[in-house]
Amino acid sequence: MQLLKTILIAAVGATLLAGCKAGGDNPGREYAANMYHSVAYEPLTQVTDESAGTWVNALNNGRGEYFNSNKYNPNWMNMREPAPNTVKRNAQGWLPYRIGKDSLEYASLTLKNPLDSTAAIIADGKALYTMYCTHCHGAKGLGDGKVATGVTVDGVEKGMLGGVANLTGDAYINITEGHIFHVITWGKGLMQPHGSQVSPEDRWKIAKYVKTLQKK
């Protein structure tokens, strides 16, 4: 038994000493490599050796578990700077919305809805309106949502907020879809901005649906 313990201690000691041969680009032996190397693409922890971690790779793709670089980019970088003088577009190819909050009139006159008035677009707009707008403006846009009119809980009226717009009233009946898009983006009066919660495409869908409410 004593001999077995001696052999075991010697083996552990030899392994530890072998792992101390670190220097330059050689990190030495790694005993928990998954804790050191991110498999995800990260610019500051790139592993360019395609064979790194081969012994634990179960994907059979010829690469090691710890390889996480993009060999199709210069220097196998994971991230590249955008081309000079370019602006990133979204999935629909639209440019970022940059009309300022105080330019509502300009937005009303110049913005055009890029979406067609199809049944599918209107249906999506209704679903989005129900999700984001009915609690204030009401199901028919009359400004009678529960936030505006209040609710009664155990005989106590709660949540009343005056001044919610009746979207079918004379003051709003002729507003443009660009006006609606801008107000959803930046907010107006009591209404808070929703640009960070609702995508540009969904804002345009809501604008389409609001105009259908104003025709009734």
49: pLDDT confidence band, cut at 50, 70 and 90? confident
pLDDT digits (tens, 9 = 90+) for 52-100: 877 776 667 778 877 888 888 888 887 777 888 988 888 888 888 999 9
- What pLDDT does 15 receive? 67
21: pLDDT confidence band, cut at 50, 70 and 90? low
pLDDT digits (tens, 9 = 90+) for 138-157: 999 999 888 888 766 677 76
For residues 79 and 173, the answer to whether their CB atoms sit within 8 Å is: no
Amino acid making up residue 43: P
Sign of the torsion angle spanned by Cα atoms 172, 173, 179, 185:
positive
4: pLDDT confidence band, cut at 50, 70 and 90? confident
CATH class of 104-213: mainly alpha
Domain ranges of the chain: 32-87, 104-213
